[in-house]
Amino acid sequence: MNKINIDQVARYAFVSRSVVSRVLNNHPHVSDVARERVLNVIKKYNYQRNSAARSLAAKNTREIGILSTRNPNDVMSNGFSTLLYLGVFEECLAQRYSVRQMFISTEMKEEFQKFILNEHTLDGVILFAEEVTDLLAGELLTREIPAVLIGHAPGFSSISSVDVDNFAGSYSAVTHLIRLGHRNIGAMVGSQLLQESQDRLAGYRKALEDAGVPLNEAFVSIGGYTQKSGHDKMLSRLRRQPEITAWFCASDTMAMGALSALCKSGLRVPDDVAVVGFDDLSFARYTIPPLTTIRQPISQKGQYAARMIIDRISGKQTDIEHRNLKPDLVIRESCGHRSRAR
């Protein structure tokens, strides 16, 4: 029952340490009888190799980091990231990698470099496009530490990435609103520092343009991906632009806040104002009214990211790849059919 080490396994199986190590690592040059004996001993004594020793000798850790520079509180509580992490976790578990979740504040950048780059305790890093600074990505690249981006970042085409087609998503959301007859459509999007938000805004613009609906820049509101932001923005817009009959919200959380503000203001959704969200988080079905939104395969995104980085670490994949997942429009009730629109 006590922990045994590789030497004991070797002894009990009447082979040398080297042989045990080879079967442990699936290396060739082990006879069938030897392998069999070793495997039996391992099973019998419930042997598990010491991972610290393994890492030390092999100079790798089978551990990947998932790195975020945002406020952990925001990250963890937004439902979106957690699903993403989940995808990463599951894939890594399946491939027997472990994942280390890291939050680093911007002041800690230096600390991080020490940790990741010098202690070199991570085989690879998954990062979010938003946190990719020249500095960080540059370091990663020159140190040849495998990295994969979730999202897009201009100028980092040299790092593989997974993303959802944000442009297509918002395009179809807004087109849906237009088809329902809306002309005065507001957009509530995230920080334009993020490529993602830019793309979602661009999709909105293009959808209007393609439909020949004049674009009113004043209808665009920029905020954060939170209920609070959606709520507060809506409240102030309601006063300034009462003519808006439909809102494209760049996230479900924003949309939820917006719904709350609309209700508070005595407006009915979708009769008075239509709202469409983005993400299709699990709660979207239970907002009042249930939210029409753009579904994106969030945890799949994480899964792909994990798979890509592992392939990269193992050398299975060396080319740069940019994967773009397709989002879907999910129609529920927050846009109605043909509401007050024009």
Dist CA 121 CA 124 (whole Å): 9
Give me the DSSP letters along 125-146.
Answer: EEEEGGG--HHHHHHHHHTT--
Strand partners, 63: 98
Only one of the segments 14-22, 130-138, 189-197, 226-234 lies at the binding site for its own copies (rule: CB under 8 A); that segment is: 226-234
Q: Which is nearer to DNA, 13 or 99 (CB)?
A: 13
106 near DNA, judged by CB under 7 A: no
Residue 76 interaction partner, one of DNA, its own copies, none, beta carbon < 5-8 Å per kind: its own copies
Only one of the segments 44-52, 130-138, 195-203, 223-231 lies at the binding site for DNA (rule: CB under 7 A); that segment is: 44-52
Residue 283 interaction partner, one of DNA, its own copies, none, beta carbon < 5-8 Å per kind: its own copies
Residue from the set 21, 229, 287, 303 that interacts with DNA by CB under 7 A: 21
Dist CA 300 CA 83 (whole Å): 9
Write the CB contacts of 270 (distance below 8 Å, at least 6 apart in sequence).
Answer: 289, 333, 334, 335, 336, 339
89 near its own copies, judged by CB under 8 A: yes
Least separation in angstroms between residue 12's CB and DNA is 12
Closest Cα to residue 279, out of 327, 331, 232? 327
Beta strands in the chain (DSSP E): 63-68, 98-103, 124-128, 147-150, 160-164, 185-189, 220-222, 246-249, 274-276, 293-295, 322-325, 328-330
Site string for its own copies, 267-306 (x = CB under 8 A): --------------xxx-xxxxxx--------x-------
Residue 307 interaction partner, one of its own copies, DNA, none, beta carbon < 5-8 Å per kind: none
Using DSSP's 3-state secondary structure scheme, residue 250 falls into: coil
Contact 251, 278 (CB under 8 A): yes
Least separation in angstroms between residue 36's CB and DNA is 10
Residue from the set 231, 237, 295, 312 that interacts with its own copies by CB under 8 A: 231
Residue from the set 33, 154, 212, 217 that interacts with DNA by CB under 7 A: 33
Only one of the segments 19-27, 91-99, 125-133, 163-171 lies at the binding site for DNA (rule: CB under 7 A); that segment is: 19-27
Site string for DNA, 45-84 (x = CB under 7 A): --x-xx--xx-xxxx-------------------------
Dist CA 247 CA 94 (whole Å): 41
Site string for its own copies, 13-52 (x = CB under 8 A): ---------------------------------xxxxxxx
Residue 90 interaction partner, one of its own copies, DNA, none, beta carbon < 5-8 Å per kind: its own copies
Peptide bond into 214 cis (omega under 30): no
Peptide bond into 289 cis (omega under 30): yes
Dist CA 177 CA 275 (whole Å): 9
Of residues 103-132, which lie at the interface with its own copies (CB under 8 A)?
103, 114-115, 118-121
Token pair in block for residue 19: 């042989």
Residue from the set 2, 26, 30, 75 that interacts with DNA by CB under 7 A: 30
Dist CA 234 CA 291 (whole Å): 16
Residue 118 interaction partner, one of its own copies, DNA, none, beta carbon < 5-8 Å per kind: its own copies
- CA 112-117-120 angle, to 5 degrees, is 110
Which positions lie near DNA, rule CB under 7 A?
3, 5-7, 14-22, 24-25, 27-31, 33-34, 47, 49-50, 53-54, 56-59
